């Protein structure tokens, strides 16, 4: 397991962590100030400053990307299928322009939540089938761009509105069916917030192995959690055994960034420099 205590070479900042403190160019400037070498930007943050300007800012700051957030939201009614496909193709194109190593997929829950306006459905079985078909379709396009896709399983609390792929096992089953040859085109993004509770997570990390482990996200789980979406904790403030999970992915050969991704109404009110300083300090001590 790598030693993170002396520097933050392997810290990546998911830019949603400070999304309310500045635009993407300001966030990139702040990363440069703090010696942060990688980011994972969100599509809306890129769009707000323009793709060309975002790509230039990344290049000029010498940053790498640890992913691109996000593709997916595959579930929809029939009227929105083309919109879903086109939207995801654009995501691949943007990721390519920005130099991302993969597109992170949040696959969608029930259609009315993942693509608002879709007819109401309670059929999660159908939603899961639709997700798999849509990933297969997106893979065809992403392969052409040599852009790997990373399925992020989300905690079951999000099954209705964000992702009906809820365990690492479920995500890896999809990988095995759609990419049985382990070509590198499809893998998983494992976020400690979503996987820490899963009694099967360690065997599933071994099953994933290096070629399916495309991204690793860190934050913490607070007790009590006041808001399931926007009350994530700073690493060390909650109860996730982050080091054990990092040890498990690194034992399989994962050698990429540990990406800090904190959606928090609390941290969004603090100055950007304070948040980044805290991220760096906690990354050295508890990640
Ligand atoms: Zn994540």
| Ligand 1 centroid to residue 11 C-alpha, Å | 14
Could you tell me which of 104, 103, 33, 91 has the C-alpha nearest to residue 63?
A: 33
pTM, two decimals, is 0.98
| Ligand 1 centroid to residue 229 C-alpha, Å | 11
Percent share of the chain, pLDDT over 90: 100
Mean pLDDT of 127-134: 98
Domain presence at residue 125: yes
User: What confidence category does residue 22 fall into, taking pLDDT thresholds of 50, 70 and 90?
Assistant: very high
Rounded Cα distance between 40 and 13, Å, is 6
Domain presence at residue 261: yes
pLDDT at 168: 98
User: What confidence category does residue 31 fall into, taking pLDDT thresholds of 50, 70 and 90?
Assistant: very high
Beta bridge partners of 104: 69, 150
pLDDT at 84: 97
User: What confidence category does residue 97 fall into, taking pLDDT thresholds of 50, 70 and 90?
Assistant: very high
| Ligand 1 centroid to residue 29 C-alpha, Å | 23
Q: For every residue of the chain, which 3-state class applies, written as one string? A: CCCCCCCCCCEEEEHHHHCCCCCHHHHHHHHHHCCCCEEECEHHHHHHHCHHHHHHHHHHCCCEECCEEEEECCCCCHHHHHHHHHHHHHHHHHHHHHCCCCEEEECECCHHHHCCCCCCCCCHHHHHHHHHHHHHHHHHHHHHCCCCEEECCCCHHHCCCCECCCCHHHHHHHHHHHCCCCCCCEEEEEEHHHHCCCCCHHHHHHHHHHHHEEEEEECECCCCCCCCCCECECCCCCCCCHHHHHHHHHHCCCCCCEEECCCECCHHHCCHHHHHHHHHHHHHHCC
Rounded Cα distance between 131 and 137, Å, is 10
| Ligand 1 centroid to residue 145 C-alpha, Å | 23
Domain presence at residue 6: no
| Ligand 1 centroid to residue 216 C-alpha, Å | 8
pLDDT at 269: 98
Domain presence at residue 38: yes
Phi then psi for residue 135, to 5 deg, are -65, -40
User: What confidence category does residue 43 fall into, taking pLDDT thresholds of 50, 70 and 90?
Assistant: very high
| Ligand 1 centroid to residue 126 C-alpha, Å | 24
| Ligand 1 centroid to residue 275 C-alpha, Å | 18
pLDDT at 151: 99
User: What confidence category does residue 103 fall into, taking pLDDT thresholds of 50, 70 and 90?
Assistant: very high
Domain presence at residue 1: no
pLDDT tens digits, one per residue of 263-278: 999 999 999 999 999 9
Give Rg (Cα) of the chain. Answer: 18
| Ligand 1 centroid to residue 40 C-alpha, Å | 10
Specify whether the CB–CB gap between 24 and 45 falls below 8 A: yes
Rounded Cα distance between 135 and 72, Å, is 8
User: What confidence category does residue 233 fall into, taking pLDDT thresholds of 50, 70 and 90?
Assistant: very high
Domain presence at residue 5: no
Domain presence at residue 132: yes
| Ligand 1 centroid to residue 261 C-alpha, Å | 6
Domain presence at residue 234: yes
User: Burial level of 284, CB count in 10 A (0-12/13-18/19+)?
Assistant: middle
CATH number for 161: 3.20.20.150
pLDDT tens digits, one per residue of 58-68: 999 999 999 99
What is the tally of structural domains in the chain? 1
| Ligand 1 centroid to residue 117 C-alpha, Å | 26
pLDDT tens digits, one per residue of 147-189: 999 999 999 999 999 999 999 999 999 999 999 999 999 999 9
Rounded Cα distance between 185 and 182, Å, is 7
Range of the domain at 61: 11-285
Could you tell me which of 140, 189, 141, 192 has the C-alpha nearest to residue 165?
A: 189
| Ligand 1 centroid to residue 104 C-alpha, Å | 8
| Ligand 1 centroid to residue 141 C-alpha, Å | 23
pLDDT at 117: 97
| Ligand 1 centroid to residue 137 C-alpha, Å | 23
């Amino acid at each position: 397991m790598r030693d993170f205590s002396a520097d933050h070479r392997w810290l990546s900042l998911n830019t949603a962590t400070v999304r309310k403190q500045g635009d993407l160019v300001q966030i990139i400037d702040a990363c440069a100030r703090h010696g942060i070498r990688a980011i994972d930007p969100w599509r809306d943050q890129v769009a707000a400053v323009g793709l060309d300007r975002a790509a230039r800012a990344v290049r000029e700051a010498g940053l790498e990307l640890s992913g691109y957030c996000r593709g997916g939201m595959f579930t929809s009614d029939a009227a929105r299928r083309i919109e879903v496909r086109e939207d995801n193709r654009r995501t691949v194109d943007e990721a390519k322009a920005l130099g991302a190593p993969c597109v992170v997929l949040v696959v969608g829950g029930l259609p009315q939540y993942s693509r608002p306006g879709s007819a109401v459905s309670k059929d999660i079985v159908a939603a899961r089938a639709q997700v798999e078909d849509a990933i297969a379709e997106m893979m065809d396009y992403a392969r052409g761009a040599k852009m790997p896709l990373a399925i992020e399983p989300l905690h079951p609390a999000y099954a209705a509105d964000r992702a009906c792929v809820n365990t690492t096992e479920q995500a890896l089953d999809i990988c095995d069916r759609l990419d049985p040859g382990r070509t590198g085109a499809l893998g998983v993004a494992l976020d400690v917030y979503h996987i820490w509770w899963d009694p099967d997570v360690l065997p599933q990390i071994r099953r994933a192995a290096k070629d399916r482990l495309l991204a690793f996200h860190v934050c913490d789980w607070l007790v009590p959690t006041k808001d399931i979406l926007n009350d994530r904790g700073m690493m060390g403030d909650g109860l996730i055994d982050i080091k054990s999970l990092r040890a498990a992915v690194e034992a399989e050969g994962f050698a990429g960034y540990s990406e800090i991704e904190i959606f928090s109404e609390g941290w969004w009110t603090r100055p950007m420099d304070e948040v980044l300083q805290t991220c760096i300090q906690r990354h050295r001590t508890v990640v």
